[in-house]
Chains A and B, each alone.
Chain A
Amino acid sequence: MNWFEKLLPPKIKTSASATKRGVPEGLWTKCKTCNAVLYRAELERNLDVCPKCDHHMRIGARKRLDCFLDPEGRQEIGVQLRPVDVLKFRDERKYRDRLHDAQKKTDEPDALVVLQGTLKGLPLVSCAFEFGFMGGSMGSVVGERFVLGVERCLEQDLPLVCFCASGGARMQEGLFSLMQMAKTSAALRRLSDRGLPYVSVLTDPTTGGVSASLGMLGDVNVGEPNALIGFAGPRVIEQTVRQTLPEGFQRSEFLLEHGAIDMILDRRDMRDRIHSLLSMMLGK
């Protein structure tokens, strides 16, 4: 009890539940790093970066592309593609049901959104993983949409920017998922052979088959501050080496130190910095 509550007569004390009822849900949110209570609208204006401690919160694929691309002239690529359950996969639950739930929860048919648009007037293709959709896992639809994005770049001489957020390949599609690693990497090889730039932005978290294919293949690899990036997840490594991992292991700063990424960019600077990079790489 704080000093103010102590002063109040018992009759006018409000119960905790009554207070909750009075505030519309989602108006306020708490930063999980610094515990600051933040006004939701202000946080969104700040691109979901905590104004107090600069913690970069996870954001969905649409929102990511929305704050990265210019508002006008966007066109979605591979919008017609839908996942299928070839293996009739079933664990505790059916893959079909998991897909259905993920689609309802995220309002996306699968875990990658690809848009053609412009960045400060520069035409490009940009794609983003939806981590909320089965952990941003890569199955056949993700692979195909990514490759269609690359092929649009090849057709129109455009650069590519991808925002990764994924646990890796999607187990429920078996070996088809693994092969998406080969498929997406081969497409990037074609892009590279044509001299078109590819910037890979690794956001929290990027691990497994996505990190070990399209994620690490950028001409420029960018990390978001404090993002978890790696091949094996930290739990798997702990079980293998039987020791607790050092503080900051597999975070962007660690990858920068070990030479795996070129830079760490604040989300609020990405439009400017990536535009500048691409312009130079394209000789503009």
Chain B
Amino acid sequence: MNFLEFEQPIAELEAKIDELRHVTVNGEVSITEEITRLQKKSQRLTESIFSTLSSWQVSQLARHPQRPFTLDYVHRMLTDFQELKGDRAFADDHAIVGGIGRLDGRPVMVIGQQKGRDTKEKLFRNFGMPKPEGYRKALRLMRMAERFHMPVLTFIDTPGAYPGVGAEERGQSEAIARNLFEMAALRVPLIATVIGEGGSGGALAIGVCDHLIMLQYATYSVISPEGCASILWKSAERASDAAEAMGITANRLRELELVDEIVPEPLGGAHRDPDAAAKTLRGTLLTAVTRFAELPVEELLRLRAERTRNFGNFQESA
């Protein structure tokens, strides 16, 4: 298990339990009791630490290297999944994956950003930062879903769209904008889930939806805490202040009515028990898909337009 800095007390306790386990092999009965006692203590400690997480700590959980990524959920939730690749114009972007599978028997289109776990895979996935061809692949798959009447499930997990020379040359801005434009009128249900890091326009480009779900320890923000800190505080070191100020956690965003539903994670975060995390999320998605698939298309589009139209806070002066 990979522990974060604020989890160090838990890590120490778990290490002690591990040590004791090795002793048990020699057949001491009283040690088993001791282990049970310590495990209970570890659970209480985890509960207590996780009940008061700061925004910055949640942000670290959202980016945890062991956290389940899009394909981890897809393989646990869907049957018959077949990945579909390429934008038909330039390339296949490995930072976005998509394909068709069955959710409880119903064919659905899934699209999500994909990060990598080890160095090699991280590079292959470009750290989950899509290029224009990734967003264009996503749009191609959404249009395909529309043609075959499949609900679209998107999984958001990206630091942001890739800021590179080639991405600019191929129209990163246009690719993102086009998705926002087309998704506004896509004639099938769009259910978006932030499973990890929801980084800015690069996240929103697959995030326009009828129903927005966030995992308990996911974040969603207009700019990364580091980016915000380096602009406004002139120092990336102040990322924790920026994270707090912007309101990026699921709880805060639910209070602000920007998120429709929060899916609880296993104690200590989704990476502690990916199977349980996937099972809970699957149930939530199933309910959402069923609810929106039942709506007549015109009603679905009316509700989506209303939802999007109402974003914002302002005053009207006399």
- Decide whether A and B assemble into one complex: yes
**Given known A-B contacts A212-B201, A260-B171, A89 and B222 have beta carbons under 8 A apart:** no
**Which of A91, A176, A192, A213 lies in contact with B180, CB distance below 8 A?**
A213
Q: How distant is A134 from chain B, measured CB to nearest CB, in Å?
A: 11
Task: Assess whether A236 is in contact with B311, with CB atoms less than 8 Å apart.
Answer: no
Given A171-B231, A215-B173; A185-B316 close (CB under 8 Å):
no
Question: From residue A184, how far is it (CB to closest CB) to chain B in Å?
Answer: 8
Which residues of chain B (219-265) have a CB below 8 Å from chain A? 220-223, 227-228, 231-234, 241-242, 245-248, 253, 256, 258
Q: With the chains together, A21 CA to B231 CA distance in Å?
A: 37
Chain A residues closer than 8 Å to B178, beta-carbon distance: 216-217
| B181 in contact with A175 (CB, 8 Å) | no
Known: A81-B315, A177-B222. A185 touches B241 (CB 8 A): no
Chain A's closest residue to B172 (CB) is A231
- Residues A216 and B177 in contact, CB atoms below 8 Å apart: yes
Task: Bin the interface of chain B by size.
Answer: 35 or more
Q: Are A183 and B165 in contact (CB under 8 A)?
A: no
Q: Are A83 and B314 in contact (CB under 8 A)?
A: yes
- The answer to whether A232 and B316 touch across the interface, beta carbons within 8 angstroms, is no
Beyond A87-B246, A215-B177, whether A240 also contacts B163 by CB under 8 A is yes
A17 CB-CB contact with B under 8 Å: no
In the bound complex, residues from chain A placing their C-beta under 8 Å from that of B182 are 189
**A143 on the B face (CB < 8 A):** yes
Q: Is the CB of A212 within 8 A of B173?
A: yes
The answer to whether A193 and B185 touch (CB under 8 A), given A81-B316, A178-B201, A259-B171, is yes
Interface residues in B297-318 (C-beta closer than 8 Å to A): 305, 308-309, 311-318
Q: Is the CB of B168 within 8 A of A140?
A: no
A86, A179, A217, A241: the one contacting B164 at CB < 8 Å is A241
Q: Is B47 an interface residue (CB 8 A)?
A: no
Decide if A171 touches B222 in the complex (CB within 8 Å). yes
In the bound assembly, the distance between CA atoms of A140 and B231 in angstroms comes to 20
A278 in contact (CB, < 8 A)? no
- Tell me, yes or no, whether A92 is within 8 Å of chain B by CB: yes
Q: Write out the residue numbers on chain A whose beta carbons fall within 8 Å of the beta carbon of B314.
A: 81-84, 140-141, 144
Q: Is residue A159 within 8 Å, beta carbon to beta carbon, of the partner chain?
A: no
A90 to B204, CA, bound (A): 25
Point out the residue from B176, B220, B305 that lies within 8 Å of A231, measured CB to CB. Answer: B176
A186 at the interface (CB under 8 A from B): yes
Contact present for B181 and A217 (CB under 8 Å): yes
A245 within 8 A of B: yes
In the bound complex, residues from chain B placing their C-beta under 8 Å from that of A236 are 163, 227
Provide the residues of chain B in CB contact with A185, threshold 8 Å.
177, 180-181, 184
By the criterion CB–CB under 8 Å, are A86 and B165 in contact? no
Does the CB pair A140–B312 fall under 8 Å?
Answer: yes
In the complex, whether B208 has a CB less than 8 A from a CB of chain A is: yes
Asked whether any CB of chain B lies closer than 8 Å to the CB of A250, the reply is yes
Q: Which residues of A contact B163 (CB under 8 A)?
A: 231-232, 236-237, 240
- How many Å lie between the Cα of A214 and that of B223 in the bound state? 18
- Taken together as a complex, chains A and B put the C-alpha atoms of A209 and B169 apart, in Å, by 17
In chain B, residues 273-318, which have Cβ atoms closer than 8 Å to a Cβ of chain A? 305, 308-309, 311-318
**Chain A residues whose CB sits within 8 angstroms of the CB of B222 once the complex forms:** 169-171, 173-175, 177-178, 209
Report which of A147, A171, A176, A241 forms a contact with B309, defined as CB distance below 8 A. A147
A sample of 17 cross-chain residue pairs with beta-carbon separation below 8 angstroms, ordered by A number, consists of: A80-B318, A81-B317, A82-B315, A90-B245, A175-B220, A180-B311, A181-B177, A182-B308, A182-B311, A183-B308, A185-B184, A213-B201, A231-B168, A232-B172, A240-B164, A241-B165, A249-B168
Interface set of B (CB-CB < 8 Å, partner A) = 161-165, 167-174, 176-178, 180-182, 184-185, 200-201, 204-205, 207-208, 220-223, 227-228, 231-234, 241-242, 245-248, 253, 256, 258, 305, 308-309, 311-318
